[in-house]
Structure 1
Amino acid sequence: MIEDKLAPFLGTWILDPDASEFEQGDPPKSATLKIEDNFGVAVFTMNQVSAEGEVTNDSFEAVPDGPEVKLGKSGLVDAMRLVFKDERTLVSEARRGGLTLMKAERELSADGRTLTVTQTVHLVDVASFTNISVYHRAQ
Protein backbone atom coordinates (compact mmCIF):
# COMPACT_ATOMS: atom_id res chain seq x y z
CA MET A 1 0.00 0.00 0.00
CA ILE A 2 1.08 3.55 -0.65
CA GLU A 3 0.71 4.47 3.03
CA ASP A 4 3.23 1.74 3.90
CA LYS A 5 5.69 3.12 1.32
CA LEU A 6 5.21 6.64 2.67
CA ALA A 7 5.59 5.68 6.35
CA PRO A 8 9.43 5.75 6.48
CA PHE A 9 9.39 9.36 5.19
CA LEU A 10 6.89 10.62 7.76
CA GLY A 11 7.98 12.87 10.59
CA THR A 12 9.91 16.06 11.19
CA TRP A 13 13.29 16.56 9.56
CA ILE A 14 15.88 19.17 10.55
CA LEU A 15 18.29 20.67 7.99
CA ASP A 16 22.03 20.21 8.46
CA PRO A 17 23.25 23.39 6.68
CA ASP A 18 26.93 22.35 6.92
CA ALA A 19 26.26 19.09 5.05
CA SER A 20 24.14 20.80 2.36
CA GLU A 21 25.39 22.16 -0.98
CA PHE A 22 23.66 24.97 -2.87
CA GLU A 23 24.36 26.03 -6.47
CA GLN A 24 21.54 28.58 -6.36
CA GLY A 25 21.15 30.93 -3.42
CA ASP A 26 22.60 30.67 0.06
CA PRO A 27 21.73 27.74 2.32
CA PRO A 28 19.21 28.71 4.99
CA LYS A 29 20.44 29.31 8.54
CA SER A 30 17.91 26.71 9.68
CA ALA A 31 15.04 24.73 8.22
CA THR A 32 12.57 21.99 9.06
CA LEU A 33 10.61 19.71 6.75
CA LYS A 34 7.55 17.94 8.08
CA ILE A 35 5.99 15.10 6.09
CA GLU A 36 2.57 13.86 7.17
CA ASP A 37 0.03 11.36 5.87
CA ASN A 38 -3.51 12.73 5.62
CA PHE A 39 -5.55 9.67 4.58
CA GLY A 40 -3.19 8.73 1.73
CA VAL A 41 -2.30 12.30 0.79
CA ALA A 42 1.30 13.30 1.53
CA VAL A 43 1.46 16.74 3.14
CA PHE A 44 4.82 18.56 3.06
CA THR A 45 5.38 21.60 5.29
CA MET A 46 8.65 23.52 5.02
CA ASN A 47 9.79 26.27 7.40
CA GLN A 48 13.11 28.01 7.00
CA VAL A 49 15.11 30.96 8.24
CA SER A 50 17.36 32.50 5.59
CA ALA A 51 20.94 33.61 6.21
CA GLU A 52 19.48 37.14 6.53
CA GLY A 53 16.92 36.03 9.14
CA GLU A 54 13.88 36.04 6.82
CA VAL A 55 11.30 33.37 7.72
CA THR A 56 9.62 31.41 4.92
CA ASN A 57 6.80 28.89 5.36
CA ASP A 58 5.49 26.77 2.49
CA SER A 59 3.46 23.62 2.03
CA PHE A 60 2.04 21.39 -0.66
CA GLU A 61 0.23 18.10 -0.83
CA ALA A 62 -0.06 15.33 -3.39
CA VAL A 63 -1.04 11.69 -3.65
CA PRO A 64 2.07 9.48 -4.02
CA ASP A 65 1.95 7.54 -7.30
CA GLY A 66 -1.37 9.29 -7.98
CA PRO A 67 -2.41 11.44 -10.92
CA GLU A 68 -0.77 14.74 -11.71
CA VAL A 69 -2.45 17.49 -9.68
CA LYS A 70 -3.41 20.70 -11.46
CA LEU A 71 -2.42 23.78 -9.49
CA GLY A 72 -4.11 27.15 -9.28
CA LYS A 73 -2.70 30.53 -10.16
CA SER A 74 0.85 30.16 -8.86
CA GLY A 75 2.09 31.52 -12.18
CA LEU A 76 5.34 29.58 -12.27
CA VAL A 77 3.97 26.02 -12.44
CA ASP A 78 0.56 24.58 -13.28
CA ALA A 79 0.85 20.95 -12.16
CA MET A 80 2.56 18.76 -9.56
CA ARG A 81 3.16 15.05 -9.34
CA LEU A 82 4.63 12.84 -6.63
CA VAL A 83 6.01 9.38 -7.36
CA PHE A 84 8.10 6.70 -5.69
CA LYS A 85 11.27 6.12 -7.73
CA ASP A 86 11.99 3.18 -5.42
CA GLU A 87 11.26 2.28 -1.78
CA ARG A 88 13.75 4.87 -0.46
CA THR A 89 13.25 7.68 -3.01
CA LEU A 90 10.19 9.94 -3.23
CA VAL A 91 10.21 12.40 -6.15
CA SER A 92 8.09 15.48 -6.74
CA GLU A 93 7.97 17.32 -10.04
CA ALA A 94 6.55 20.79 -10.54
CA ARG A 95 5.55 21.25 -14.17
CA ARG A 96 4.33 23.94 -16.53
CA GLY A 97 2.87 23.07 -19.90
CA GLY A 98 4.09 19.49 -19.52
CA LEU A 99 7.72 20.51 -18.88
CA THR A 100 9.35 19.76 -15.54
CA LEU A 101 10.67 23.03 -14.09
CA MET A 102 11.55 21.73 -10.63
CA LYS A 103 12.32 18.22 -9.47
CA ALA A 104 13.00 17.22 -5.88
CA GLU A 105 14.30 13.74 -5.10
CA ARG A 106 14.00 12.82 -1.41
CA GLU A 107 16.29 9.89 -0.69
CA LEU A 108 16.07 8.13 2.66
CA SER A 109 19.26 6.66 4.14
CA ALA A 110 19.35 2.91 4.79
CA ASP A 111 18.94 3.50 8.55
CA GLY A 112 16.03 5.93 8.01
CA ARG A 113 17.72 8.73 9.99
CA THR A 114 18.83 10.99 7.10
CA LEU A 115 16.82 12.44 4.23
CA THR A 116 18.79 13.94 1.35
CA VAL A 117 16.75 16.24 -0.86
CA THR A 118 18.27 16.91 -4.28
CA GLN A 119 16.31 19.75 -5.86
CA THR A 120 16.98 20.76 -9.44
CA VAL A 121 15.47 23.91 -10.90
CA HIS A 122 15.41 24.31 -14.68
CA LEU A 123 15.30 27.91 -15.86
CA VAL A 124 14.09 27.57 -19.44
CA ASP A 125 16.68 28.80 -21.97
CA VAL A 126 19.03 29.79 -19.12
CA ALA A 127 20.48 27.00 -16.97
CA SER A 128 19.74 24.36 -14.37
CA PHE A 129 20.74 24.62 -10.72
CA THR A 130 20.91 21.86 -8.12
CA ASN A 131 20.67 22.32 -4.37
CA ILE A 132 21.33 19.36 -2.07
CA SER A 133 19.78 19.66 1.38
CA VAL A 134 20.64 17.09 4.05
CA TYR A 135 18.07 16.61 6.81
CA HIS A 136 18.26 14.52 9.95
CA ARG A 137 15.22 13.02 11.64
CA ALA A 138 14.10 15.01 14.68
CA GLN A 139 14.42 13.11 17.98
Structure 2
Amino acid sequence: MADSSYKRHLAKTITWRLVGTIDTILLSWFVTGDLFTGLQIGLAETVTKLILYFLHERVWYKINLDKDGRTLDSRKRHLAKTVTWRFIGTLDTVVLAWIISGNPLSGLKIGFAEVVTKMLLYYVHERVWYKIDFGLSKRKNKE
Protein backbone atom coordinates (compact mmCIF):
# COMPACT_ATOMS: atom_id res chain seq x y z
CA MET A 1 0.00 0.00 0.00
CA ALA A 2 1.26 3.49 -0.81
CA ASP A 3 2.46 5.67 2.03
CA SER A 4 0.29 8.54 3.26
CA SER A 5 2.43 11.11 1.45
CA TYR A 6 0.59 10.21 -1.77
CA LYS A 7 -2.69 11.38 -0.21
CA ARG A 8 -1.04 14.58 0.94
CA HIS A 9 0.52 15.26 -2.45
CA LEU A 10 -2.75 14.56 -4.21
CA ALA A 11 -4.60 16.97 -1.89
CA LYS A 12 -1.92 19.63 -2.40
CA THR A 13 -2.13 19.08 -6.14
CA ILE A 14 -5.89 19.62 -6.19
CA THR A 15 -5.90 22.70 -3.94
CA TRP A 16 -3.05 24.32 -5.82
CA ARG A 17 -4.65 23.60 -9.17
CA LEU A 18 -7.87 25.30 -8.06
CA VAL A 19 -5.98 28.44 -7.02
CA GLY A 20 -3.74 28.35 -10.09
CA THR A 21 -6.56 27.82 -12.56
CA ILE A 22 -8.57 30.73 -11.23
CA ASP A 23 -5.48 32.94 -11.51
CA THR A 24 -4.78 31.79 -15.09
CA ILE A 25 -8.38 32.30 -16.20
CA LEU A 26 -8.39 35.85 -14.86
CA LEU A 27 -4.98 36.73 -16.32
CA SER A 28 -5.85 35.17 -19.70
CA TRP A 29 -9.15 37.03 -19.82
CA PHE A 30 -7.37 40.30 -19.01
CA VAL A 31 -4.61 39.79 -21.61
CA THR A 32 -6.81 38.51 -24.45
CA GLY A 33 -9.92 40.51 -23.60
CA ASP A 34 -11.96 37.35 -24.17
CA LEU A 35 -13.49 35.41 -21.27
CA PHE A 36 -13.99 32.29 -23.42
CA THR A 37 -10.28 32.20 -24.35
CA GLY A 38 -9.40 32.67 -20.68
CA LEU A 39 -11.63 29.75 -19.74
CA GLN A 40 -10.16 27.55 -22.48
CA ILE A 41 -6.60 28.27 -21.37
CA GLY A 42 -7.43 27.79 -17.69
CA LEU A 43 -9.28 24.53 -18.25
CA ALA A 44 -6.67 23.11 -20.64
CA GLU A 45 -3.89 23.73 -18.17
CA THR A 46 -5.87 22.04 -15.43
CA VAL A 47 -5.07 18.68 -17.00
CA THR A 48 -1.42 19.34 -17.83
CA LYS A 49 -0.65 21.03 -14.54
CA LEU A 50 -2.32 18.40 -12.37
CA ILE A 51 0.09 15.88 -13.83
CA LEU A 52 3.12 18.17 -13.77
CA TYR A 53 2.48 19.38 -10.21
CA PHE A 54 2.02 15.85 -8.85
CA LEU A 55 5.32 14.81 -10.46
CA HIS A 56 7.00 17.95 -9.07
CA GLU A 57 5.77 17.07 -5.56
CA ARG A 58 7.05 13.50 -5.87
CA VAL A 59 10.48 14.67 -7.03
CA TRP A 60 10.76 17.17 -4.16
CA TYR A 61 9.63 14.51 -1.70
CA LYS A 62 12.64 12.43 -2.74
CA ILE A 63 15.12 15.33 -2.73
CA ASN A 64 17.18 15.28 0.40
CA LEU A 65 18.67 18.66 1.26
CA ASP A 66 19.95 17.85 4.75
CA LYS A 67 23.26 16.08 5.42
CA ASP A 68 21.92 13.79 8.16
CA GLY A 69 19.36 12.12 5.88
CA ARG A 70 16.31 14.14 6.91
CA THR A 71 14.24 16.06 4.40
CA LEU A 72 14.58 19.72 5.23
CA ASP A 73 11.24 21.54 5.57
CA SER A 74 12.09 25.20 5.67
CA ARG A 75 11.39 28.53 4.08
CA LYS A 76 14.45 28.00 1.82
CA ARG A 77 13.08 24.65 0.63
CA HIS A 78 9.68 26.22 -0.06
CA LEU A 79 11.34 29.04 -1.94
CA ALA A 80 13.33 26.56 -4.06
CA LYS A 81 10.16 24.56 -4.77
CA THR A 82 8.41 27.80 -5.69
CA VAL A 83 11.08 28.75 -8.24
CA THR A 84 11.31 25.30 -9.86
CA TRP A 85 7.55 24.92 -10.05
CA ARG A 86 7.11 28.41 -11.48
CA PHE A 87 9.57 27.66 -14.27
CA ILE A 88 7.70 24.48 -15.22
CA GLY A 89 4.28 26.08 -14.80
CA THR A 90 5.12 29.21 -16.79
CA LEU A 91 6.52 27.21 -19.68
CA ASP A 92 3.35 25.11 -19.73
CA THR A 93 1.12 28.21 -19.66
CA VAL A 94 3.04 30.02 -22.41
CA VAL A 95 2.78 27.02 -24.74
CA LEU A 96 -0.92 26.37 -24.02
CA ALA A 97 -1.88 30.06 -24.26
CA TRP A 98 -0.03 30.37 -27.56
CA ILE A 99 -1.73 27.29 -29.01
CA ILE A 100 -5.22 28.23 -27.78
CA SER A 101 -5.08 31.95 -28.56
CA GLY A 102 -3.10 31.46 -31.75
CA ASN A 103 -0.95 34.40 -30.72
CA PRO A 104 2.58 33.82 -29.38
CA LEU A 105 2.67 37.32 -27.86
CA SER A 106 -0.49 36.57 -25.83
CA GLY A 107 1.13 33.36 -24.61
CA LEU A 108 4.22 35.27 -23.47
CA LYS A 109 2.19 38.04 -21.82
CA ILE A 110 0.03 35.58 -19.90
CA GLY A 111 3.05 33.48 -18.91
CA PHE A 112 5.09 36.40 -17.68
CA ALA A 113 2.16 38.05 -15.89
CA GLU A 114 1.56 34.90 -13.91
CA VAL A 115 5.19 34.61 -12.82
CA VAL A 116 4.56 37.22 -10.15
CA THR A 117 1.03 36.26 -9.14
CA LYS A 118 1.69 32.54 -9.06
CA MET A 119 4.98 32.75 -7.16
CA LEU A 120 3.27 34.70 -4.41
CA LEU A 121 0.24 32.40 -4.40
CA TYR A 122 2.40 29.26 -4.47
CA TYR A 123 4.59 30.38 -1.57
CA VAL A 124 1.49 31.06 0.54
CA HIS A 125 0.06 27.67 -0.52
CA GLU A 126 3.28 25.92 0.58
CA ARG A 127 3.29 27.73 3.93
CA VAL A 128 -0.36 26.82 4.59
CA TRP A 129 0.28 23.17 3.76
CA TYR A 130 3.37 23.20 5.99
CA LYS A 131 1.05 23.91 8.93
CA ILE A 132 -1.36 21.09 8.01
CA ASP A 133 -0.69 17.52 9.22
CA PHE A 134 -2.92 15.81 6.63
CA GLY A 135 -1.13 12.87 5.03
CA LEU A 136 1.83 12.94 7.40
CA SER A 137 2.46 9.78 9.38
CA LYS A 138 4.84 11.66 11.66
CA ARG A 139 5.27 15.42 11.84
CA LYS A 140 8.88 16.53 11.49
CA ASN A 141 10.17 19.46 13.51
CA LYS A 142 8.68 22.75 12.38
CA GLU A 143 10.75 25.90 12.46
Tell me, yes or no, whether TM beats 0.5. no
**What TM-score, normalized to structure 1?**
0.28
Of Structure 1 and Structure 2, the greater strand share is in 1
TM-score (norm 2): 0.28
Whose helix fraction is larger, Structure 1's or Structure 2's? Answer: 2
Where relative contact order (Cα < 8 A, 6+ residues apart) is larger, the structure is 2
